[in-house]
């Protein structure tokens, strides 16, 4: 058994989770924050049999779009976006996916 950890954009998370559920995956959605941009994203936990991992990854990839996000540089801290802050465009996503081996899973 595997645990898939998929970090996706908030705007894609409902569609990705719905598509996974439709294909009989069980999904837990966590509200998370990226350490670099410090903006919200969504982490999906998907426990599944080894042979279904590729299917889950394909679904996540299919519904996760790459976006450009403006990141304020450290020199701009405290000045905000409105005051001529120095901003860089950062490419985010589609999705970052980790696959971990699971020793056991029980439901009580």
Distance, CA of 17 to CA of 63 (rounded, Å): 9
Distance, CA of 77 to CA of 34 (rounded, Å): 17
- In terms of CB distance, is 74 or 104 closer to ligand 2BA? 74
The CB-of-81 to ligand 2BA minimum distance in angstroms stands at: 17
Distance, CA of 39 to CA of 28 (rounded, Å): 20
The per-residue DSSP string of 19-39 comes to HHHHTT-EEEEEEEE-TTT--
| Cβ-proximal residue to ligand 2BA, closest one | 34
The CB-of-72 to ligand 2BA minimum distance in angstroms stands at: 12
Does 108 interact with ligand 2BA (rule: CB under 6 A)? no
| Residue window 26-45: x/- pattern of binding to ligand 2BA, with contact defined by CB under 6 A | --------xxxx---x----
Q: Are strands 40-48 and 2-8 parallel, antiparallel or unpaired?
A: antiparallel
From 4, 7, 44, 59, residue interacting with ligand 2BA (rule: CB under 6 A) = 7
Which residues of the shown chain bind ligand 2BA in the complex (CB under 6 A)? 7, 34-37, 41, 90-93, 96
């Amino acid at each position: 058994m595997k645990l898939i950890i998929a970090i996706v954009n908030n705007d894609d998370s409902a569609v990705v989770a719905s598509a996974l559920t439709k294909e009989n995956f069980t999904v837990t959605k966590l509200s998370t924050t990226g350490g670099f941009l410090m903006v919200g994203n969504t982490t999906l936990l998907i426990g599944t049999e080894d042979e279904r991992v590729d299917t889950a990854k394909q679904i996540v990839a299919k519904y996760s779009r790459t976006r450009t996000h403006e990141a304020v540089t450290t020199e701009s801290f405290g000045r905000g976006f409105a005051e001529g802050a120095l901003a860089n465009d950062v490419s985010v996503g589609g999705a970052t996916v980790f696959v971990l081996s699971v020793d056991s899973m029980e439901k009580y």
